[in-house]
Amino acid sequence: MTKPLRGVRVLDLTNVLAGPFCCHQLVHLGAEVIKVEAAGRGDLARQLGGDPELNRRGMGVSFLAQNAGKKSVTVNLKHEAGKELFRRLVKTADVVVENFRPGVMERLGVGYEALKTVRPDLIYCAISGFGQEGLWVHRPAYDQIIQGASGVMSITGDAQGRPLRVGYPIADTVGGMTAAFAIAAALNAKPRGSFIDVSMLESVLATMGWVVSNYLIGGIEPRANGNENPTSAPSGAFEAGGGLINIAANKDEQWVLLTDHLGLADLRNRPEYATREDRKANRAALKRELEEVLKGRPARDWAKELNRIGVPAGAVLSVPEVLAMPQIADRGFLAGFTDVPGVGRDIEVVTTGIKLDGEAPGVDRPPPQLGQDNEAIWREIGVSREELDDLRRGGTI
């Protein structure tokens, strides 16, 4: 299949999620991604996840989720020999990705300015919570910190409750995706060579365009709306038999189709539901009227029927339910690896949500054990076996 980043070498110095997720995209698109991990401990994600035994082995579920297809080498960048070894590796690379706090790489002597003397056309991507400048530059940046600072939590939940975090690390993930997009663009530049500054805070705000613009242009302060779509009605989550169903009857014609199908055509004759604005103003009462009918049958049955007649709808599924659906199971979105070293059993992980020329990009290597590729990579750049032995004894790799 098409591998648009084939031949591109990426050095992944990142930890936990935003950076590893960025490089997860790149490796599936064909890049050779080498994780450059701290000697002796590696990516912190190796110790994180729901399986304590895998955490103890340094192959935590959080690590397995984002690192298939990558290679792993170890180096101590606090050792002068380690810095020199890393510089030699940078000479062979197209991209360096790191998500340390701003200034850390410079203090180690291996920041962008230093590395571009080694590789002038280097693309260097720094992912941080708040960017490389500004009053907040040295604040710690974990996903939930960014969710709170960005306003995401203030618009998640309902008006009666307190702000809520999104149920997965959306700030890390959006930051990583933004970085991958920027790197792919920079690889297309002629000539190559750039410093990419990715702020997780700004990346998240960039995805909130409708919400932010309603405030900046319309003067409407964003607030939590629960499972309701504030731009239309009936549009949101409704109680049906056995669970919730999302219905988006945003157009007048969909409102007509929906009420006809539910046997509630008379609602259209009532003044409180005459227009979209009327329905928005009386959405709570309208919701109760629709649910009286919807509760009589399973959400999945309603969803099939409504979609068939042109009313967008979908049952609210759990994660195990959606993963078992043919729509996911049959499209190559999940990748399996057999008897993974360091794990001792088969695993399945997600890929990218992309298809190229009809195929889902995949990788043929499971997530690596710490330092798994030390011998191959360091020898490839000219380090002799004797030097490797000395570097190991000295704690440099």
Q: Residue 23 carries which side chain, given as an amino acid letter?
A: C
Q: Which amino acid belongs to residue 112?
A: Y
Angstrom distance (rounded) from CA 150 to CA 221: 14
Active-site residue flag, 172: yes
Backbone φ, ψ for residue 205 (5° rounding):
-60, -35
- Report the C-alpha gap between 378 and 369 in whole angstroms: 16
How many whole angstroms from its chain centre is CA 135?
Answer: 26
Residue 30, sorted as left (phi over 0), alpha (psi -120 to 50) or beta, turns out to be left
Catalytic residue among 12, 172, 197, 373: 172
d(CA 285, CA 300): 24
Find the angle CA(265)-CA(316)-CA(276) to the nearest 5 degrees.
35
Measured distance CA(163)–CA(148) in Å, rounded: 9
**End-to-end CA gap in the chain:** 36
Query: Catalytic amino acids?
Result: 172
